[in-house]
Chains A and B, each alone.
Chain A
Amino acid sequence: MKFFQHFGEYLLFLKAVFTKPEKGKIFFKQIVTESNNIGVGSFAIISLISGFIGAVSTIQIGYQLVSGILPDYLIGRIVRDSNILEFAPTVTALVLAGKVGSNIASEIGTMKVTEQVDALEIMGINAANYTSFAKIIAGVFTIPMLVLYAMILSLIGGAVSGWASGIISVESFVKGLRTDFMGYNVVFALTKAYTFAFLITSVSAFQGFRTQGGALEVGESSTKAVVYSCMSIIFFDYIISQLMLFK
């Protein structure tokens, strides 16, 4: 029962968020700032994680495919598909749920407990819109770009680790990447990326916005933002996979 109450509150929050901003110029500035915080601010961690995931997946797939029968370029093909379909969008989203989600929730939560949100309301400003709309738009704009970047970097990481460990030559790895490539897989990954981006930013903003109390509650909201974002990512990962891969 509590779940439905929270879900209803979440929908009402989204209704308040998705209204026309008070001033377009200020809204545009906010989007640029938030895009910088979410996108550029997450560049290093996504680089590190996606590069290593590609590298590790190549080594593990190479370890499992030790056989004289199967051609080694299959390693490149499996690394490509597993990274494009799952690792790049989902792992990136889970990492960003931790980094971006907790940041959004704690920022808005602090504004709430220090009466900054009340100050906005008293001025006649739609506080949900002002605090959250730009963050959601910036997230939906930049997170799919980070996912695309993660896809490319994970494949580069895979090629480098395959070559460095002697599992597979770069030529064979690239041959595997090009074998039976399906553009639809990228569309599938980007669909997940857009969905996850919306979930991370909106769920976290909602958790921040419903904070009441003090510093302790801001911490709780931040934790809830990460937990609920991760749970919704995993749930929608399953739903989208079911809908798009097995029609």
Chain B
Amino acid sequence: MVIIENVNKTFGNKHVLKDISAKLYKGKCNFVIGASGCGKSVLMKCMVGLITPETGSITFDGRDFLKLNYNEKISVRKDIGMLFQNTALFDSLSVEENVAFPLRMFTNFSEEEIIERVNFCLSRVNLINLNKLFPSNISGGQKKRVGIARAIALNPKYLFCDEPNSGLDPLTSRVIDELITDITKEYEITTIINTHDMKSLFVMGENIIFIHEGQKWWEGEKAEIRPSGNKELLAFMEASEF
């Protein structure tokens, strides 16, 4: 479980995150939704340690990330997998080398064991016979799947997905959604998804946090959205394509 408490972040005069507190549950797809510029990407960057908030705490199963020293933070980061909006695959490495990268850096596996694990992760995301291709030679949907395979290579406890469906066609989006849901359930991962995609939210969303103007405006389950009567949340929902 990840617990966020009273997180505040400002950039210059702009107060981007205003006292945000939330709980993100293990084995569930936790959604963070909100309009562009509302602060959800900043919140995710705070959670993975790319941005340090001014105040508050972010606790990963009892480990307060902001109070840890450098080496302790690295041990938490090894439990984190992240799927980036633009996949962030290493251009100079092949698909196989991308997935093998965290294994080569952090395990003492033999080359055979690494290749075996890579092939397992790639087959888990339904990618076969692409091992030797480079990111520039595969489609957007395939890149996302390689990104997921890389993110799960080290069996992470926490999976962060930033706009996992952006730029994908509806069918591929569905495949990616199903993959994330299956992996979350199968490995009991705490999955956190930043998205605008309401279709995904209604298919896989369990715990939902709505951010509006830097504040947590609403939190609940998808069945509670419509009865909530929350004006901003309902306006956001109605404005989406879904």
Contact = CB atoms under 8 A, between A and B. Distances in A.
Interface stretch (B21-29, B86-94, B117-125, B197-205): B86-94
B82 A122 contact: yes
A116 B74 contact: no
Interface string A93-119: 000000000000000001100111011
A88 B160 CA distance: 52
A245 interface: no
Contacts of A26: 104-105
B63 interface: no
A123 B80 CA distance: 7
B91 A110 contact: yes
Q: How many of chain A's residues touch chain B, expressed as a range? A: 10 to 19
A166 to B, nearest CB: 51
Contacts, number: 51
A122 B49 contact: yes
Contact of B105 (A23, A110, A116, A122): A23
B78 interface: yes
Given A110-B91, A124-B74, A124-B78, A119 B84 contact: yes
Contacts of B85: 115
A22 interface: yes
B84 A115 contact: yes
B50 interface: yes
A115 B75 CA distance: 21
Nearest to A130: B105
B76 to A, nearest CB: 8
A114 B92 CA distance: 13
B32 interface: no
Contact of B78 (A110, A119, A123): A123
A124 B77 contact: yes
A155 to B, nearest CB: 38
A116 B77 contact: no
A134 to B, nearest CB: 12
B48 interface: yes
B82 A119 contact: yes
A169 to B, nearest CB: 51
Interface in A1-37: 22-23, 26
Given A26-B104, A122-B77, A124-B77, A116 B88 contact: yes
A123 B105 contact: yes
Contacts of A116: 88-91
A121 interface: yes
Contacts of B73: 124
B184 to A, nearest CB: 18
A16 to B, nearest CB: 11
B86 A122 contact: no
B72 to A, nearest CB: 11
Contacts of B48: 122
Interface string A134-149: 0000000000000000
B46 to A, nearest CB: 12
Contacts of B75: 124
Nearest to A115: B88
B148 to A, nearest CB: 13
Interface in A171-193: none
A65 interface: no
Contacts of B86: 114-115
A125 interface: yes
Given A115-B88, A116-B88, A116-B91, A121 B49 contact: yes
Given A121-B77, A122-B50, A124-B73, 7 more contacts: A22-B106, A114-B91, A121-B50, A122-B48, A122-B160, A123-B78, A124-B77
Interface of A: 22-23, 26, 110-111, 114-116, 118-119, 121-125
24 contacts: A22-B105, A22-B106, A23-B104, A26-B104, A26-B105, A115-B88, A116-B89, A116-B90, A116-B91, A118-B84, A119-B84, A119-B88, A119-B90, A121-B49, A121-B50, A122-B49, A122-B50, A123-B78, A123-B101, A123-B102, A123-B105, A123-B106, A124-B75, A124-B78
